[in-house]
Structure 1
Amino acid sequence: MRLPSASLLYLRSTSFLSTKPTKVSQVRRLIISSWQRRTTAAHLHKPSPLRSCTCRHTHLHAQLHIKNYQTSISSTSPRIAIASLHTSPISHWGSRNLPENPIPLDLGNAAMTVKDRYNAPYEEQDVNEVNELVKTLTLGSQKGKNSKGFSCRKSDYDVDNSKLSVRSWKFQDWDYKKRDLPTNARGLFTLRNSSGNHEIVTRGYDKFFNIGEVHRTEWSWIGEHTKGPYEVTMKENGCIIFISGLPDGTLLVCSKHSTGTRGDATKSHSAVGDQWIDKQLARVGKTRGQLAKFLRDANATAVAELCDDSFEEHILAYTGDDAGLYLHGINLNLPTFSTWSGPQVQAFADDWGFRKIEVFDKQTVAELKTFLEGVAETGEWNGRAVEGFVIRCKARYGASDTKWHDWFFKYKFEEPYLMYRQWREVTKAMLSGKQPKIRKHKTITEQYLQYARDQVRKNPSLGPAFQQNHGIIAMRDGFLASIGRSGAEIIKSEEDSGESKAKSVVLVPIATIGCGKTTVALGLVKLFDFGHVQNDNITVKRGKPFAFAQAVCQGLNLHAVCIADRNNHQKREREQLFKDVKALNPEVDFVALHYVHYKPGEEDLISRIKAANQQRIFDRGDNHQTIHSGTGDQEAIVGIMDGFIQRFQPIDTDTEPDSEFDLVIDLDPLVDSRENLETVVSKLYENYPHLLGEDMPSSHNLDEAIQAALSDYTVDIKHVIGSGGSSSNKNAAGPSRDKGKAVASGREKGTGKASKQPLVEYFAVRVPTANVNVALDQAFATQSAEGKKFYTQLKNSRRIQGSFHITMVHRANVNKQAELWKHYDQLLQNLQPGKDMLDELDVKLEKVVWNDRIMAIVASLVDDKGHECGNDYMHITVGTADTTIKPKESNDLLKVWAANEEDLGAAGINELPLGKNGQGVIVHGILSAVMGANTHRGGGRR
């Protein structure tokens, strides 16, 4: 508890600070008197948090502050001592990290104040370091020119009320799991200053992950590599806002990746945050210029949470006095992460009128874990519903790392918040005329949906408001009130009744050849009599993926748990499995058995995994369905195995399709299968004990299960990879191979003359038509009739493309882009006979952009593998208004779109994010050559 900022302002407005009280009794009388008068004023004029202060509370708080005054009065002038009263923290922290006698806020010397008032870190930017950072980021933003293994997007914004512009840098979320990014900042803005150098003007937190989400947030890693105290901060439920100062004295207010109104001040997060800044500064008698100068001089960014239901509702309610900007961090504007401590942040919040988050310390990992797991049981803390906590501490990468760095992780509570989110999504689906998808909490969610329908019938205006994220919490709270239960009570009731427990589980290995997935699967079958379907035992010639899913579902008819035994190493395989299994069994849970192929700081991990996998395969000989190392060509076998590793896509539950997994169990491909089996069994007992036996298998049971898996297993069906089959099959394949050679060489065999094969018109990444159409339909389903007018027009006039692709380079540009054409042409020259696929690439469909002539999807490659796009903006043309408009006009559309991102309406352009929560849609693409007309120009392909 602190003496409120309002009280200090009241003291400053009286003659109190002009007097020189020397006795504690004088201080006591003046503080109590001024606080009581302030409380009385609050009673007379408007509601205030101070109205709850009783006389007894007033005397208690005054006594606590007077104690601080007594300790400092001998060495500090009364004026400074009084001014310091409201910064003396009386909270869970005590006074850790704050000076004993903080000086008054001196706006004329921010750097001095940072150190002497807040005892906070201060460091200037290194010009060379920042210039090098921006150079690296620029390379990452240029497709095909970056060998660092990451990609980022840059966006430029003109700053309101300034002649300056800033550049935002945005990484893909999955890139943050890599160790070698140039910076881990999530939210980064730079500008080029008057000296021509780059500087960081806004810096967010390093991306942090949920407990257990990555290797570095496993409790075992935290216990070994971090040190306390562990600052536990309430996870407020809003959107992030950054505040910083620019060289010209302008206050810069940003959302995570943009700034300004962008055409509509009522919808822009940064614009609404800007309005709240003005309100709070007025409340404490300070100006935007003063805040800008302080942050500029301090080389810092203030990080706050915008929580305001009148603007945008999330899960927890923020209305009236609860709405505003909650300050939770102050970061130094440096490439590496450095941030103020909690007490320093709260003192700053008091000075500048921010709302404060609750923060307290836990000294050890054990104490921290006990606390978090205890709160998780109820989802409430101090009588308030909470979505989770963010934990701040110091970490290092290993014992040899001498530098402890600032490091965050989070602990989010799944329920009842996942249920609340599901209610929000099914309501939006219902309002859009779509079939709501109910994954869990089926009974109560159906009751909620009926309630929501009734409310919308009574008051039709609720529907459009709900679609704009207004009225979500009122709808939820109304339903809970109508049934007389809380969310936590519903969850507990479901657990007690068994309703929330999964009835069926599919175990999905994510592995490469030789990881030991089948050995672990056979061990589980031995222990629990699980169902087990091996992909190589599916012998149908067509529709094998669906037949595999069908067999898994048949296994679930006989077993509560079934193992879908194939590598599932690519997202498209996982997506297919989810879709086909759920079509037959919607109630199933999916559990990933994820053989981890990437860990931060272990650059040689892949080579070690290759060696371990090869050792297992060659030790096994021919006892494998497709890899026969006892009699096969070992070099060819190694090539096959390497191909699987190169195509391996690690799990990412933040994006589709991996967000469908209900549980991820990380396994180590370098350890023996006995250890991985124990890990799986332990995790399954933690999460699905009702599907397993009462007694967890003993160590002896696990040993026996692995021994049986290794000694008793024999192959039922063998496949010979690359054998060509019977002689008749070989003959049938002959013309295909010859044709492939002709296309690849461009010349007739033996004649030296150019063949009559068609010329390559362009190289492109083909994407599945159905996936693109579904992504578009889902996006436009939430729009008004006016918002989807052009899309409807394209559909009704059949002007949407029959197939979709990304053009990487076109013959028309062969002279201007000779090197790029040569790159793809070489891929074609190296193509194996009978093949037409140059490469496989995952494509992210980001947003759809259109005017009244043409519509296109802005796209990017998840991993470009060195394949550059010749267009300024990678895209897919969706359709044109009529036949006179050429698809290449998409390039012109996107140039105008990029140049007018802040005011698209004025340019006659519209945009709509694709995917769940606008996070994009990942689809699988095939890179190939597209042939033109059957004409010949003497030189063959160029």
Structure 2
Amino acid sequence: MTFTPLPPRYDTDEALSSLATALMASTQIPQSKGKGKRSTYTVFDTAHQLTGWKFNEFDYNKESIVLPIRARGFFTEENRIAVRGYDKFFNVGEVSTTQLQWLSENTSGPYELTLKENGCIIFISGLADGSIVVCSKHSTGYRPDLERNHALAGQKALEAQLAASGKSVKELALQLHTLNVTAVAELCDDAFEEHVLEYKSEELGLYLHGLNFNTIEFQTYPIDLIAEFAAAWGFIPTKFITKTDFSELFRFLEECAETGSYEGRAVEGFVIRAKAHGADHFWKYKFEEPYLMYRQWREITKGYLQQSKKPLSITLLIKKSHKHKRVSAQYLIFIIPELERDPALRDGFLQGHGIIELRNRFLTHMGQSGIQLANQEGSDADLTAELDRLSIEHARNTGTSDLQIVTKYLIIPVATVGCGKTTTALTLTKLFPWGHIQNDNLSSPAASKLVKGALSLLQTHPAVVVDRNNHMCRERAQLFGDFENFKEQFFPAKEYRSKGQLVEFKYICLNFISGNPHDQDLWSTTEKRVVERGDNHQSIRLSVTGQDQLHMIMKGFINRFQPLNPKRKPDSAFDEVVDLRVGSDSSLENTVTVLNRLAKIFPELVPAVPARAAIEAAFGKSLTYVPEKKKNVKEKREARVQYYAISVPQEVEARVEALLRKQSATNPAGLHFYDSLKKHDRVQNSFHVTLSHVAHCKGKNAAGKVIFDGYKRRFGPAVDAFMKENSEKTFPHNYKFALGYHADIQLRRVVFDGRLMCVEVALVGGYKTGKGKQFQLQCGNACPHITVGTLDNSVKPVMSNMLLTDLMKWEVDNTVEENGKQVQIYEFEDEVLRGCEIVASF
């Protein structure tokens, strides 16, 4: 292939002199922003000295900071530009000039895509006397302070390549000097330094992907001419693809991103080269997965090798990871024995060798590809229990002699009113020295009192029965989350480790309803039991509630009941499920069933099932139980509204999805995030716009109090009327009721930042049902909004308001990027939801 050079390009002496002055001035800036750093290097095996210039990494992406030059890899000889790297370029969506809308409106094809090779960047230039200059990103020549010199490794590879091609180093240097260009290549050599992608022996070498003119303005050769130059001088040409249409370009990129590969080969992504207003414009499209996961594995392996304390705390290592915590813990457990058996592998890893080999062993062990493992995980929010389990598994598998596993058992019913859970619990705790805590004995609001009380009992008992209905998934999830969150408070890891112990929790479910919760026989049995016990209960007392109210309470539990599903979260956290039945005189047999199962599965907890006579005696005593305390059940409930809101119909979800799908051709990130929320059941079950919350009245928020009090005056009569009409009823937490008013809202835009997605809205106005006269709606939040969904339980819906508030500030500063957050925005076109109910919530 014949290389056809372009005419050389040069800057004027005046321009170069001005640049030199600006570069020197940047080194004198007192503050860190925009401050330049100047270093002098001697070109390898010559007397030439070059000056290297660099700036703080974060200054390159701040449009408010004006740098003398935006090249990364920039060296001068006196006032001449000797080496010129690329202007720093960014991933799609990372800065304003790589936002999809900006790119679609401001760039033109052809769009040249080069594979993003995974090595270390090398710059190659020539001097007038035929000396070759080979640089890494920020240095060149011999460096006694470096253990691994990338520039010299690049020079060695270059010399070998030229020798194999029958060319001399001086010839190349003179060619580059004549053309006034810097050759930009990627050194991919796993023997020198491993990165993320694996390169086979025949794939090692310098991959040429740039020929930049040594000019102040970034100007570069087209990729086809770079390929010609690579062939002429023995470089490995970087593969490239050309797309003429912007939409076609992003369809191609999205298809490749699904597998993290191109033509069956794993790649890290693409660099896209185009024109923006006539100038060269580069950006990246990086495949996040599986490469983020691979890098994470590399770092946690180093963390393991560098930690001095044993036994291993997998939890502490994994907590540093941002994603893929579960599979990363599995990776750690697999590779630790591999490293312990192979000291050479262990030592080599810290020197940058064996990284890929170790990773491939794990992938083979799992029988899945990296992209499959990266895509199979959902939320990591409830992971603490799993990490502890893996730590314990590791301790057992490796036979760690100084680590004793202390197992504590939490027995958790899933039931409705009248199933016999308390009778069963009392019988069990009369047979074994287990703890028993009843939610009904706790003063309201119980909140975390139940969990803290159970953990307190667990300190002196091997097992505790946590006596609550737990009839809804969120209640079970709350228990699992709180037990892990408060575990350290009651079982300090440091204290137990000092004794050579590690505490694990085992969760046992007593599933009282494995069939239809609306079954008539179930209703007959439970209703009869509750009526017969009369007032022998802490809160549900027949003489106070009356039979009608009693039925309403019981049916409320049944209607809200969510059956156990051990294959899905949160119920998958149970270590064992014991299915029970509810019928006449079933509590005794349920006790026997529990004991038989626990004796089989957890013999350390139930070494032997007691004799039948002993079980019956314990059961008889449990039937004489009288509650220690009874709650003060008010006949009338004071109206205490927690917040006022606009209830938004479910159609808003369809409108959001339609908008994201419509704009996915130019900006697919929002649709990908929304689809992920749906896949992992993270989209809200219902939607509303909070108008004012009682929390807005707290502290010095005078405006918030004014708004809340204003709604209290307007809606007070409707609240009073509702409470008067329903004075004998008991309502669940967060119960909402209509106030006889409606509102219209305008959907402005969908906003997300990788943690949550919300819809910013405008409040058009409110009006009384059936009457057209509108009144102005005010909002206690800075930005009225609807939360669509959040990444996991650690991201609270209230953070939507924080995101939108920050967005308003960023937009004033003409940026939508701050502190590493990347915010994506999708505008609606004049969409209004009319007739939405205004509600109050307890």
TM range, smaller chain: 0.3 to 0.5
- The structure having more radius of gyration, on CA atoms, is 2
Question: TM-score normalised to the size of structure 1?
Answer: 0.42
